[in-house]
Structures are given as C-alpha cells and as structure tokens.
Structure 1
C-alpha cells in the first residue's frame, strides 16, 4: 500500500488528455496505495460490470484485486477511485451500472476524495497513531490526526452519533410518476445547469405500458462512440442497464414504449451550459398505452 516506508517518493506520469484535477488526484490515489473501487471483491453487491461493452484490450481494468485490502471501510460508489459508467466503452453503452438505478449518478466522481477515501487513507497511514485516547466514532466516522472524529455525510455530533440524513445524495427528478404528463430537463427551456443527475421512473396502470415522446432534444454532442459529457438514457424495463444512450439531437421527436409496466429516464450533465443551441435540454410527454 503506497510508499509508507520510503523517503524517495514516486514518479507520477500523467498522459495527454489526462491533465485534469480529478484525473491527477485519481492517479495520486494509486501512488499512495489505492486500488480501483470497482476492483473490490464485494462489488457485486453494488454494481454490475457489463463485460460485453468493454474494449477487450482494456478489460483488465475491471478485474477483482484479490490481494487488495480496504481495512473494513465500506464500498463507496462516490469514491474518487471508482470508474464512471462509461469507462473504456466499446460502443457508447455503460461498462458499469449501479444495481440501484437511483445511485447511477454517484460513480465517476472526479471532484476529490470522498469521506471513505479519506477514511481508508487515514487507516493506511495510521493517522491517529499519536492519539493517546482517541474517541470512538459512530456511523462510519473516523479519527484523524487531530484526534477528533471526522463525520460522514448524513451525520453530526462530536462522535458522529446523530444521523441527519443519508451518506449518498438522492438524484433530482421524480421516481414515482403514475399519471400522464411532461418530463423536462432541469431549467428547461433555458440551458441546463452543470453537475446534474436526474432520474424519473414512470409506472403505468395495470395491464398498460409507458410511452414517452420526445419533443425538443438538445444535449451536448456525441464524440466518437460516446456521449462523453452530457447524456440521456432510457430504460424500457426500469432496470439499471439502459436500452438507449443518447445526446445531440438523437432522440428529437422519437417515441419509445416500455417493454413492461415501468420505464426509467436518466439525465446527466457534466459541464456548464455554454452552448445555447446545443444544451437547451429536452421535453418528453408521458402517456400510457
């Protein structure tokens, strides 16, 4: 795990196109001893690897690391070390999906270390080793070098003893749609904001199916095989593996019908809304057939 017993340091190579803060921080994570989060042996409880969508020469990145240790820190979908859903895709469809569709926007964090990343680093490098009488932290909190508890999201108090919410942030959208109506991207018809992940789940009356018809559809464009920045997915049976992954104007005026009684729609925006002709979002009407 890292270079805990060396004063010589390590060389870190960052290739062309990877000079972004989140990518550099991810590589530094490897340098200090982190493995990919999706390499954990318990990943099947949280995510599914879609092998058919992975470039064959890059499949090794998705192997389970049997020798790795996570020192009791729980699996973290929001880890800086977790691949996003489309890492090394061969066809523009996801290579990793979360088992819970409502958590799909959590993977691929490039904003910085998560709470559990910091917890793992603290354990690896014995950051509380000088504490003569460390507190006992509850609910996933840990003791740092100041000998106090660092509390995870959704907790508070000196020992993280008070639960105030959940560790993971819920997505925007509406996951309980049961009537006909309209779904729009955030702030439509204005530019959609950055950093959004919304999930809508529509359930049809018994014996019927869900039909959505897109009107306007202006999502930042496809590059090569991927929608690398902003995208919309449609899940015709509401499970986590999408049947459609689209951007640009690809779904404009298109009609999609669910295979059963439920349909899920996801919207993801990464960058800022800078292109009014390309990022005004979408509108979709919902009916039942």
Structure 2
C-alpha cells in the first residue's frame, strides 16, 4: 500500500508531464531549449522577490518569468545581439540577482536545494489543484493558438500572409511557458523543469508520425517517466526530481533503438512530419 504523500507525488508529477509534453514539442521544434533554461533561472529571482515582498511564490515566479519574456522581445528589437547571447545575458543575470537578493535577506531561511531540484514528495492537495487547474488552462489556450503558433513555427512569413498574427501567438506561448514553470517549480525544481520540457518531446519526435501525435506521445512519455522515476526513487532511495529526469533519459535512449525507428511507419506516415522546425 502506497503512502499518501507518494500518491500525491504521482498525481502531481503526471499532471506536470501532461502539460509540459505538448509545450515541449514547440520548444524542440523552435530550438528554444535555452529560452526554457532562461525562464527556469529567472524563477529563482521570483522566489527571492516573493520572500522580499511577502507575496505568493508561484505568482511571483510567474510574474518574473513573464517580465523576462517581454524583456527578451524588447531586446531582440533594439539590441544588436543574437538571440542566444540575449538569452545568456537574461538567464545568468536573473539567476545571479536572485542568489544575491537571497544572500542579503539574512532573516530568511529557505531550502535552496528544494527550489533548485524540487521536492515532489512534499506536494500538498492545494499544489495538485494548482497543477491541474493551471495545466488545464494552459492546454486549453495552447489548443486555441495551435494553428497560428504551428504556422509561425514552419514559416513566419507564411503565417503573416495568412493573417494568423504570429507575434501574438509567440507572446501567448511565452506566457504559457512561464505558467508551466511557475506551477511546476515545486515539483521538479527550477533547474530540472527544462529537462521535462525537452526530453519527453525529443523522445516523442522519434516515435511519432505527425505534430499532433507527437504532442500526445510527449505527454505520455513524460507521465511514464514520472511514474518510473518515482518508483525508482522509492526503491533505491535517490532524489525524486533527478530520478524522474533520469527515467526520461532512459526512455529517450530506448527511442534510439532500431525497433523505435520503425514505429512512425506503423502509422503510415514519415517521421519527418513531426519536424516542422526543419521545414524552413
């Protein structure tokens, strides 16, 4: 019989995986892995501001992540630097600011490792509610912007010609990423959420025959990784968050097998159909 805290961890982790998988597909297609890292690093600054201003941590992390996203959009238009240079500047600056701010707040005692790597075994019923309500809202909005966002991923010019307003879709997508990072920070931590966005999507990319199918498979792969990682953590007494990421890595390595190479053909479609980012 499983303990209540372990069941809560399973439910919360699966909820995060079901949301992170579809979003992660766009992160992979658009080669935005570093952007996910930037937002996760900025989350620590959100934690510091939450303690400083005595506000809800999730709300603070969400606000800071959105501000970093807007800052990136603004700098891309004004600064003569490449996107990866701007992301590096924002990521490391926000992380350093968060650590320095926490160091100055000597009256605050926090478990920094818990924020960095998560503590999924300590989630409460309220955390589960936040994950599923917030996750459902994120998925609903993603479905609404799927067409313009997917079109912009293939060709921005084509999306503009079709009147799909790709700029608005891109902004909404960044806000959705900020939301996922905010609600999942306590589950897997700010340093591991990017892995949950990327690894299941990368695995699904090798197994799927189309973009919609890839989104579904990514969610399932993430859920399997959560379950496998938690049971492995229980069996071998390893950290739960990193164990989930290792389980996702094992699934990715399994997707490299010759048998996995044949799976997209079973659906009668070429695997290249799940790679819109390469259609440019």
TM-score by length of 1: 0.26
> Max radius of gyration: which structure?
1
Higher helix share: 2
| Higher relative contact order, chain-length normalized (CA < 8 Å, sep 6+) | 2
